[in-house]
Amino acid sequence: MPQVMEFKLPDLGEGLTEAEIVRWLVAVGDVVAIDQPVVEVETAKAMVEVPCPYGGVVTARFGEEGQELPVGAPLITVAVGAEALPEAPAAEAEGSGNVPRPLIGYGTDHSRPARRRRVRPVTAEVSAPTAAPVTVPAAAPAAAGPAGPVPVISPLVRKLAKDHGVDLRALRGSGPEGLILRADVEAALSALRAPEPVAAPAASVAQGERIPLKGVRGAVAEKLSRSRREIPDATCWVDADATELMAARAAMNAAGGPKISVLALLARICTAALARYPELNSTVDLEAKEIVRLPAVHLGFAAQTERGLMVPVVRDAQSRNPESLSAEFARLTELARAGKLTPADLTGGTFTLNNYGVFGVDGSTPIINHPEAAMLGVGRIIPKPWVHGGELAVRQVVQLSLTFDHRVCDGGTAGGFLRYVADCVESPAVLLRSL
């Protein structure tokens, strides 16, 4: 006799407590294999596919696309051992328990079967440990009638309708095949509660657009707000002549081999500066009342994507040469734009490099990426009048700004760091002498 197993939203790691359902990858009645991805969710850090540790027949799904669920909430129930089509492998009837905590890997080699298979609906003799699943009819009518099964899968939707006295048979489902979703019940409730229209003054008609502060935007807002609340920051800046740096880059790229980006050269300068001023590669432990100086430089860099601002992290940047840094920046940027960064790619940074010059601006006062101690901002590099060799000349000039946590160091240390960075930009030989 089949056993119904409930699979809950696992701990996605890095302190994440909820995730939004982006897309269901299976439907009720599908056969799933062990470790097969069943749903795609979006956390505040990344998009991930969640694999199920059980093989069998999907008997219920919990939550609709666009709904946010807390960690530990039910995702699906699976009838392990339910009768499937002949081609379904027997191995799918047992659970592997291979859902990692935290979830960074997304299943084993057999996690993606060639196609989904439909099976007969699970009979009433299968007893679920929680809410009893409801089978979706083969075809739902355009509008619910007075008789026949109501096209609802989620017990949560049924409970919401029952608690508020909503007749599900009177609703037209907006889901696939007329499936009634939570949004349909909530719309019906809104219609019931809506007051009679009242004429309002013209000035009050425009209410403005409301955008949910969640997902990536919400995570950015929370992190920046926390930085402002907890970190007593200060900013210093300096203009630097980047003509020699740009010439050095052109010479390196003309020699053949992998191309070196300006960001990679600036990153290499940063790691050298942090070796001289380790106070800025640290964090503050408020509970212990200690400054923790970190042994490795995990360099974050700002990447603007369609989903919002992302800060991927280059691990052990201090041990990488410009070629390796360029390759890693390119790899992580591509993943960021494709929405494929994992939580591990976006956490653990110790210092951030922010090149806002790509937006065509000269300067900024960066907000520290909590819980780091500093961020270096780089403006655009453009021709400007500059006194060079005692004479006025047109040079490639860039503004550098450093925002730092005043708890970890004073202005002398921050100014020394920024001056060293500027000296390396103006004369790359300074960096070579310090290696």
The catalytic site residues sit at: 406, 410
- Lookup: tokens for 4: 């119904």
Helices and strands (DSSP H and E) totals, the chain: 8, 20
Q: Give 3-state DSSP helix, strand, coil % of the chain, rounded to 5.
A: 30, 25, 45
- Please name the amino acid found at residue 22: V
SS3 3: strand
Among candidate residues 306, 327, 209, the one with its CA nearest the CA of residue 260: 327
Q: What residues have CB less than 8 Å from 213, skipping those under 6 apart?
A: 221
Q: How are strands ordered across the β-sheet holding 36-42?
A: 47-52, 36-42, 18-24, 68-70
**Distance, CA of 34 to CA of 95 (rounded, Å):** 6
Q: Which residues of 82-108 are buried (b: 16+ CB within 10 A; e: fewer)?
A: bebeeebeeebbebbeebeeebeebbe
Rg (CA), the chain: 28
